[in-house]
Amino acid sequence: MTSSSSITIYRQDYTVPPFLVDHIDLTFDLGPSVTQVKATTRLRHNPESESHDIVLYGEALELVKIVMNGKTLAKSDYATDNGELRIANVPDDVTLVVDTLIHPDQNTSLMGLYLSNGNFFTQCEAEGFRKITWYPDRPDVMATYTVTIRADKEKYPVLLSNGNLVETGDLPNNRHYAVWDDPFRKPSYLFALVAGNLVCREETFKLADGRDVLLQVWVEKNNLDKTAHAMESLKHSIRWDESRFGLELDLDRFMIVAVSDFNMGAMENKGLNIFNTRYILANPRVATDTDYANIESVVGHEYFHNWTGDRVTCRDWFQLSLKEGLTVFRDQEFSADLTGSDSGRAVKRIEDVRTLRQLQFPEDAGPMAHPVRPDAYQEINNFYTVTVYEKGAEVVRMYQTLFGRDGFRKGMDLYFSRHDGNAVTCNDFLAAMADANGRDLSQFERWYSQAGTPRVRLESHYDEKERTLTVSLSQFCPPTPGQTEKQPFLIPFAIGLLDSKGNDMPLRLKGGKDSGTSCILELSDASQTFTFVDVAEKPVISALRNFSAPVILEYEQSDDELLHLLSHDSDHFNRWEAGQRLAARRLVSLTKAVQDGQPLTLDTAFADAFRTVLSDTSLDAALRELALTLPSEMMVAERLDEIDPHAIHQARQFMRRTLAEKLEKEWRDAWDRNRTEGTYRPVPSDAGKRALKNLALSYLLALDNPVYCQMAIEQYNRADNMTDRLAALTSLVHSGCMNRHPEAKALLDDFYREFENEALVIDKWFSLQATSPHAGIETITTLMEHPAFTLKNPNRARSLIFGFCHNNMAQFHAADGSGYEFWSKNLIELDRINPQVAARLARCMDQWKRYIPSLRKPAEQALRHVSEQPLSRDTREIIEKTLSA
C-alpha cells in the first residue's frame, strides 16, 4: 500500500452527508480466498444538503455490479476516483444493491475482513468498512443492520455479528447460515463479523431492571480456561455502569471475542466486542497482576462504549475524543472504584498520570502535537493517540473536578437525553455539562482546541503578622505546530496546606467561605492571585492535588519541603509526587555530572527518605512500590533541553545501585515480608505486596551478589504464578546475572520450553530480552530469526521491535547509529505488511531533534532514508512531520 501524495482533511471543511441510510442488509458468502458481499442499502436524501450525489467509499474491492432502484448501472453511470465512487443526480429515495468480492487471506493490514488462525474477523474503525463494501463509510451516517452470514459448517461452526440472533439454518453442500439483526442505529465503523471454530464461556445475567441477558466470551478451544476473569470483569462493568451512571445493557446478549492478530487493544462494536487476546486471556500460570488489571480495565472500557461511543457517537473523526477521552475517564473511574479504598484510588490515579507524563507530555512537545480535537489530519489512524485518549480523559476529569460527582452525573444525564441515537461533537458534550450545572464553559473549550501542555508557575508569600498566605498562579502554553499563540485555559488547581507537624490546615479564601482542608482555585487569566486568611503558621503548600489538571507545575520547593510532603501529605498522589520530584532533581544533576566527567554521588538525606517510605508499613504496599520506583529514563529526558540517552541511563543505574547498597537490609526485609501465602489472588492487596517484593528483588540484584542471584532463581523455580516468575526472570536478565551465572542463563530456555504454546507468554519472553540494558543489536537481530518471531502479528512485533526501540534507550541510541538503521529497515518492511502498526513504530523518533549532536545526524539519516521509500499514508504522515518539525 503506497501513496505518492498526501491529502490533508480539515475539520473546518465538514459538510453533512448528502444522503442518509435508513437500513442496510448485508449478505456474506465466506471463503478465505474469495468472499462475496452483497449490500442492499436504503438511502434517502438529507434535507440539510444541496447535493443529490451519492458518495460511497471503497478500498481493495472487486466491484461486480451496482443496481440502483432495480436498474443495473453501467460504468458510465458512476465515477470512481481515489477510493470514492460517486453517482450523480439521484432521486430522493434510493435502494442500492452493491455486489463485491474481497480477498481476506491477502489482507495483512488487519482492517476490514481478514483471517487469523483460519477464522474470520473484522476491524472497521476508523475506515475499515470500506474494505468490505462500497458504502458511505463515515461516522455521521447511522443505520440499522440485518446481516446474513453463510459459510462452511465444519470449518466455521460459529457465525456472529452485531445485535440479536434471529435465525439459523442449514444449506446445501455442508454449509449453514445465521441472520443477525441490530435494532440500534450505528455507523459502519461499529459493524462486526466473526466466523470460525470457537467456543465460549457463557452466563445468564440479571440486570437491574430484572431482565435476563446472555453474556458470552468466545475464544479458541485451547483458551477457554483463561476466560473466567474476563467474564467477571464484564459483569462488574455492567453493575458499575448501572449504579454510577444509571446506564443499562440494551441488547438481549453481549458478546466478546478474542483474536491474536489485532492492531488495537479492543473494539467496541455494538454488542460484539472484538479483543486482542492479551486483554482477555488470563489464569495465574500465564498472566501477571498487571495483565489481570488491564483486562478488567479494557473490558470495562469497551463495555462502557455501549453508551459513550455506540448509542451516542462522534459526528466526524475530529471528534474522536468525544467517545475515547470520555470512555477512558469512565474506565479509570471504574478501576479506581473497584479497588474499594482511598489508597487504591490513589494507586490508580498515579498509574494514569505516569502514563500521561511518559507518553502524552512528550507528544505535546513533539512534531505530532495536536489538540484533543484535531483540526486536520492526513490519515485518521494516526490520531488514535495518547492526546486524544489520555489527555482527553483528563479534560473530562476536570468537569468532575469543577462540578463534583453529582454535577458531572447531571451533565451526563442531560447529554444522553439530548443526543441518544445521534452523532455529535465535543462541543455538544461541553454544552450539556454547562447547561446542567448553570455554568458558562466557553473558555473551557480551549482544552479541545489548543495543543500543548500548559505550564503553571506558583509563587507564594506568607505574612506572619497578618496571618495570610498569598498564592500567585500564572500560566503559559508553549507554541506547537500550527499554533504559535495560546489563550489562557480554565485550569482547576487543587491546593492544600500542611503545618509543621504535617497536619492539613483549614482553608479560607479572603472574602470566601471555609473550604475544608483542600480547595479548587480556578485559574482563568494569564496570572491571578489568591489570598488565604487565618493561616496560623507558615505552611508547606501541597499544590495540584490529585493532579487536578494536565499541566506542568513550575514551583520551586526545597528538599526539606518535599521531604515534609513525602512524609505527611494526606493527598496520596502528592506524597508520591514529592518523591518523584526529589528523585528527578537528582537524576538531572547526575546526568549532567556524567556528561561533565564528574564523580557521581547521592546524598544521604535522599537515601534516608527512601528508607523511611520503604519501612513505613502503615502505607499501602502498592503505594510504597510506586513511591520507590524511580522516574523512567524517558521522564528524565523530558526535563532536559538536550537528550543524552547514555548519560541518562548511566545516571539512573548509578542511583539504583546506590540505593540498593544503602538500603540493602531494608530491601531484603521488604522481599521477605511481602511474600503472599496461599492460593494466588489477583486482588489489589496481594498485587501490591507482590509489586513491592519484586521491586525489592530488582534492587537487590543491582548489587551483583551471587546470593541474590540465587534468591531470584529460587523465586523463579518456586513461583506458582506468572507475576513472580516473570519478575524473577526479568530481574536476572536485566541485572546481567544471566551472563555470570550458568543456572540463571538456563532459565530463559526453560521459560520458552514451558510456554512455547502460549503466544502471550512468548510475547513476554521476547519483550523482557528486548528491554534489557544488556541487549544490543546483535541480540535483537538474533531474536528476530527465532522461529517464534513474525512481523505479521502485531503483538509479536510490539514485544520485540517496539520493546527495543521504544523502551531500551541506551541500546537503541547506540553511538554508531546501528539502532536507527535497525529501526528504519524494520519500519519499511512492517509498512508493507501493516501500515497502522508501522506508523506507531515511526513515532519513536519524534524527539530526534533534541538528541545530542552525535546522535542527531545518524537519526536524521535514518529518517531521510525512510522518507525516500514508497510508504503508506499512515507512515508517510509521521515521517514527514517528524522531519519538518
pLDDT tens per residue across span 268-309: 999 999 999 999 999 999 999 999 999 999 999 999 999 999
pLDDT at 486 (0 to 100): 97
* Distance in Å from the first CA to the final CA of the chain: 25
Model confidence band, residue 515 (pLDDT cutoffs 50, 70, 90): confident
Marked catalytic residue, from 59, 268, 296, 302: 302
The CATH class of 455-549 is mainly beta
pLDDT at 382 (0 to 100): 97
pLDDT at 5 (0 to 100): 59
Say if residue 3's pLDDT is above 60.
no
**pTM: predicted TM-score of the whole model, two decimal places:** 0.98
Structure letter (DSSP) for residue 800: I
Q: How far apart are CA 616 and CA 621, in angstroms?
A: 9
Query: Does CATH number 1.25.50.10 belong to domain 608-884?
Result: yes
Say if residue 569's pLDDT is above 50.
yes
| pLDDT above 90: percentage of residues in the chain | 97
Q: How far apart are CA 381 and CA 373, in angstroms?
A: 14
pLDDT tens per residue across span 753-777: 999 999 999 999 999 999 999 999 9
Say if residue 744's pLDDT is above 80.
yes
Task: Assess whether 302 carries a catalytic annotation.
Answer: yes
Average pLDDT, the chain: 97
Architecture field, domain 313-449: Orthogonal Bundle (1.10)
Q: Which of 835, 832, 826 is nearest to 803 (CA)?
A: 826
pLDDT at 2 (0 to 100): 42
Q: Which residue pairs, CB below 8 angstroms and at least 24 apart, start in 707-714?
A: 709/735, 709/737, 709/740, 709/741, 709/744, 710/741, 711/671, 712/737, 712/744, 713/741, 713/743, 713/744, 713/747
Query: Does CATH number 3.30.300.30 belong to domain 9-197?
Result: no
pLDDT tens per residue across span 792-823: 999 999 999 999 999 999 999 999 999 999 99
Do 9-197 and 608-884 show the same overall fold? no
- The stretch 171-188 carries a mean pLDDT of 98
Q: How far apart are CA 628 and CA 648, in angstroms?
A: 18
Domain parsing of the chain, residue ranges: 9-197, 313-449, 455-549, 608-884
Quote the radius of gyration of the chain (alpha carbons, Å). 28
